[in-house]
Amino acid sequence: MKTRVLCSVALLGAASFGRQVLAQPAAAPPPPYTNAAESYSGISGPGKPVAGTGFGGYQSGRQGVFYSGDAARPGWHTLKPEAFSGLAVTGGLLPPLRPIWDIHLRDTIIAIGGDGEYYMTGSSGDNIWDRNDGVELWRSHNLRNWSYLGLVWSFEKDASPWQKVWGKTRDLPVRAVWAPEIHYIDKKYFITLSFAGGAGTAVLISKSGKPEGPYGNAFQPDARSTGGIDATLFQDDDGKVYFTQGRGGTIYRMKDDFSGFAGEGHPVEIEKPADGSWTRDEVANEGASIFKHDGKYYLTGAGFYKGRYSSVAVISDRIYGPYKQWHEAVPGGGGGNYFKDRDGLWWCTVFGNDDQMPWREKPGMVRIEFAEDRRIRVAARQPDFVLQESARGKR
């Protein structure tokens, strides 16, 4: 990718007029972006219903944006079909899914708000490895049609001084929000997020009490929550709220007023599978999340496993562990969350981060169920609206 460089030249003099020409003011320095705004928008926008299969999509990264579809921008590259081969579907690991909305969105998160509506957010904009403008939010009553609530947290309007620090991913400058999540806890809306390039994580609270904000930092004094990425919250049955991030290696209890942590974090112990299929000391590579089902705690995350970016999980009787039964819960479903809908059905969000998926970097979801040994698995029956038309009525 090309780096834009702006230069200003000051005139030194004009002898023919016998007088000095004052130097012109220097041009404002360019933002530390790697590409021009004509190539990368900082927002994803309203989106639209999915037409046809929804195949194709985006593959964003430090090398630029690769795209297959009808909304290419100048400077984008062509995404070849092998980048969304759908091998996880043809291999029987996933049903023939399609996206639920046509929009560029990584790290898709869906949660129910206090009004019973569904809210969706995630890493948005054309290329979060370069920049984005903040946190966008969408709302739905039925998980099929989504209305756009806009940019509910903005670098320009809402960021604290420490949140405006420019970071880097490797050798490239970047200003972006990664993996925001929305949570409705104790009749309040929260957004957890992280900042690209090492600026850390934050817990935001809605100042209006509404999901559309505006949001400000919950921690007092105003400072980052932790280093790293992928912050998340979980409320237990007794009302206590917990925080973790990244690989899920440490869990913190929040203060009752959400102004900080109630003490030191608790290191999490996991039992690795005996077959050696997972050797890390943490549950996942990134994207940690926690939920509870039938009295059991599930610590989940995104793991690079057998060529897939999958949702992986461990299970415990206690919030701090130890956690056991490590397993690949949803093949290809990494980088999202689990939620229970108004009918009591459980779902895992997916967005398509690897070439085994039938689309790339668009929001989707798959219904899950719990096996007799309590492990998560993809449900045998799926509703038609998440499936390709050719598979509807068959599962």
Would 12 be classed as within a structural domain?
no
Residue 158's SS3 state is helix
134 beta partners:
154
Closest listed residue to residue 251, CA positions, set 231, 237, 263, 265 = 265
Read off the pLDDT band of 10 (50, 70, 90).
very low
Domain containing 170 equals 56-391
Question: What residue spans of 97-161 are helical by DSSP H?
Answer: 155-158
Per-residue confidence (pLDDT) for residue 32, from 0 to 100? 59
> Does residue 6 have a pLDDT over 50?
no
Rounded to whole angstroms, the Cα distance separating 140 from 238 reads 29
| Rg of the chain, C-alpha, whole Å | 22
Average pLDDT for residues 121-136, to the nearest whole number?
Answer: 96
Structure tokens at 165: 């620090």
Rounded to whole angstroms, the Cα distance separating 184 from 110 reads 11
Per-residue confidence (pLDDT) for residue 19, from 0 to 100? 30
Rounded to whole angstroms, the Cα distance separating 105 from 120 reads 10
Per-residue confidence (pLDDT) for residue 395, from 0 to 100? 57
Would 140 be classed as within a structural domain?
yes
Would 39 be classed as within a structural domain?
no
CA distances from 226 to 250, 265, 271, 317, 356 (A): 11, 11, 25, 26, 33
Residues 119, 188, 265: CA angle, nearest 5 degrees: 100
Would 258 be classed as within a structural domain?
yes
Average pLDDT for residues 303-324, to the nearest whole number?
Answer: 97
Q: How many Å from the N-terminal Cα to the C-terminal Cα in the chain?
A: 44
Average pLDDT for residues 148-166, to the nearest whole number?
Answer: 94
Would 28 be classed as within a structural domain?
no
Would 158 be classed as within a structural domain?
yes
Per-residue confidence (pLDDT) for residue 9, from 0 to 100? 28
> Does residue 56 have a pLDDT over 90?
yes
> Does residue 18 have a pLDDT over 50?
no
CATH code for position 137: 2.115.10.20
Query: Which tens digits make up the pLDDT trace of 336-362?
Result: 999 999 999 999 999 999 999 999 999
Rounded to whole angstroms, the Cα distance separating 135 from 156 reads 12
CB neighbour burial string for 168-205, b if at least 16 within 10 angstroms, e if fewer = ebeebbbbbbbbbbbbbbeeebbbbbbbbbebbbbbbb
Average pLDDT for residues 109-117, to the nearest whole number?
Answer: 98
How many CA atoms does the CB half-sphere of 241 hold within 13 Å?
17
Per-residue confidence (pLDDT) for residue 15, from 0 to 100? 31
Per-residue confidence (pLDDT) for residue 23, from 0 to 100? 38
Whether 364 and 98 have beta carbons less than 8 Å apart is answered as: yes
Would 214 be classed as within a structural domain?
yes
Q: Over pLDDT 70: what percentage of the chain? A: 91
Structure tokens at 83: 């980048």
β-strand pairing of 118-124 with 105-112: antiparallel
Read off the pLDDT band of 30 (50, 70, 90).
low
Rounded to whole angstroms, the Cα distance separating 273 from 368 reads 22
Rounded to whole angstroms, the Cα distance separating 100 from 49 reads 8
> Does residue 16 have a pLDDT over 70?
no
> Does residue 57 have a pLDDT over 80?
yes
Query: Which tens digits make up the pLDDT trace of 247-265?
Result: 999 999 999 999 999 999 9
Would 26 be classed as within a structural domain?
no
Question: What residue spans of the chain are helical by DSSP H?
Answer: 87-90, 155-158
Read off the pLDDT band of 24 (50, 70, 90).
very low
Average pLDDT for residues 149-160, to the nearest whole number?
Answer: 96
Rounded to whole angstroms, the Cα distance separating 372 from 386 reads 25
Q: Which amino acid is at 212?
A: E
CB neighbour burial string for 363-393, b if at least 16 within 10 angstroms, e if fewer = bbbbbbebeeeebbebbeebeeebbbeebee
Average pLDDT for residues 118-134, to the nearest whole number?
Answer: 96
Whether 157 and 186 have beta carbons less than 8 Å apart is answered as: no
Domains identified in the chain, total number:
1
